């Protein structure tokens, strides 16, 4: 089976222990991102299986109709970037393991960004390299209110970190989030406006879908304190287009720390947020951690082996199975 692995930005896949599962097969690894349909179709014309990492490359009808040899798309996690109906029409099976394990790596990066932004760590590191000493004064976490917007698996982990840092926690979200948070003894905001007004740090932990896209509005951000910090390690699209840039320029919130940007990957420092002194930005590395990669790619590779053995697993479009077994 010819296997193509896309978007291995850090060129790390061949170094993973799990790569031994498919090392004896015909594997081509691409380390750059390609958005041009013609280039992508040319690269994948002989691929029988494609391995994706998260939502780095979308797969839809326009691409699938140009890949007649493709039989399998394999990855770990949710598949909002894959057109399942189109895959089914073209007889392409989609296998993606969904786990209940929180992304501890993303939660840890979230906490790292909080400290980095509030204590001005990136700025001070650069200032020291340029010969300056103690250029700014930051803020600590202890005693400041942490707001968690979306109390799911990662939000729950973040709340545990807050306890260790002696930060009171305030939660807002859908009914399920509120019930879960109250069950864990956490405080709920009176309403959405109260949530954005009261918190010193707000961390977004919502899954992106039609209901949550653009759900954090300019009005929400305008209610935040001028000393507050907004942290987003989930998805940039949760915030209304242009709202964060305008809010940071207006000073509410006073700072942002984000791991997600509107148009990824960002090359050549093209995103305007990177030019703001009150924004700390990282290149979507929340889940880019060695243990996470071993799990994600390990699941994807085991799905390929199961497909080859005639017993596909973690299937998202089972209609294709009837054709394969006919």
Decide: 164 and 114 in contact? Cβ < 8 Å. no
Question: What span, in angstroms and rounded, lies between the C-alpha atoms of 31 and 303?
Answer: 22
Give the ranges where the chain is alpha helix by DSSP (H): 37-43, 61-64, 84-89, 104-118, 121-129, 153-164, 175-183, 192-198, 218-222, 243-250, 290-308, 319-325
Specify the pairing of strand 201-204 against strand 72-76.
unpaired
Cα separations (Å) of 75 from 57, 115, 235?
11, 32, 19
The answer to whether 264 is a known catalytic residue is yes
Beta carbons within 8 Å of 71's beta carbon, 6+ residues apart: 1, 48, 49, 91, 92, 93, 307
Among the listed residues 198, 223, 235, 302, the single catalytic one is 235
DSSP type of residue 82: B
- Considering the candidates 264, 289, 294, 308, report the single residue annotated as catalytic: 264
Query: In the block, which residue shows the tokens 């380390």?
Result: 31
Question: Annotated catalytic residue: which of 205, 284, 293, 302?
Answer: 284
Residue count of the chain = 326
Establish whether 54 is a catalytic residue: no
* Active-site annotation holds for 235: yes
Q: Which residues are catalytic?
A: 235, 264, 284
């Amino acid at each position: 089976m010819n296997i193509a692995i896309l978007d291995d930005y850090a060129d790390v896949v061949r170094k993973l222990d799990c790569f031994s599962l498919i090392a004896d097969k015909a594997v081509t690894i691409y380390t750059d991102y390609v958005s041009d349909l013609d280039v992508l179709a040319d690269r994948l014309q002989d691929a029988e299986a494609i391995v994706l990492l998260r939502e780095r490359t979308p797969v839809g009808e326009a691409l699938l109709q140009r890949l007649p040899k493709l039989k399998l798309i394999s990855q770990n996690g949710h598949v909002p970037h894959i057109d399942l109906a189109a895959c089914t029409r073209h007889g392409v099976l989609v296998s993606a393991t969904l786990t209940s394990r929180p992304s501890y790596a993303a939660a840890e990066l979230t906490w790292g960004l909080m400290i980095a932004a509030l204590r001005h760590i990136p700025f001070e590191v650069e200032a020291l390299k340029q010969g300056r000493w103690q250029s700014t004064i930051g803020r600590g976490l202890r005693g400041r209110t942490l707001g968690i917007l979306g109390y799911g698996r990662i939000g729950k982990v973040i709340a545990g970190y807050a306890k260790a840092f002696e930060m009171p926690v305030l939660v807002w979200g859908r009914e399920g989030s509120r019930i879960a948070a109250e069950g864990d003894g956490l405080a709920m905001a009176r309403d959405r406006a109260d949530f954005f007004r009261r918190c010193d740090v707000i961390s977004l932990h919502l899954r992106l879908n039609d209901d949550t896209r653009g759900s954090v509005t300019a009005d929400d951000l305008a209610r935040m304190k001028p000393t507050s910090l907004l942290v987003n390690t989930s998805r940039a699209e949760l915030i209304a287009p242009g709202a964060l840039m305008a809010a940071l320029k207006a000073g509410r919130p006073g700072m942002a720390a984000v791991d997600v940007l509107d148009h990824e990957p960002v090359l050549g420092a093209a995103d305007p947020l990177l030019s703001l002194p009150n924004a700390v930005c990282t290149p979507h590395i929340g889940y880019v951690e060695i243990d996470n990669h071993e799990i994600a790619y390990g699941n994807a590779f085991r799905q390929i082996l199961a497909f080859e053995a005639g017993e596909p697993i973690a299937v998202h479009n089972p209609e294709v199975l009837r054709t394969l077994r006919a």
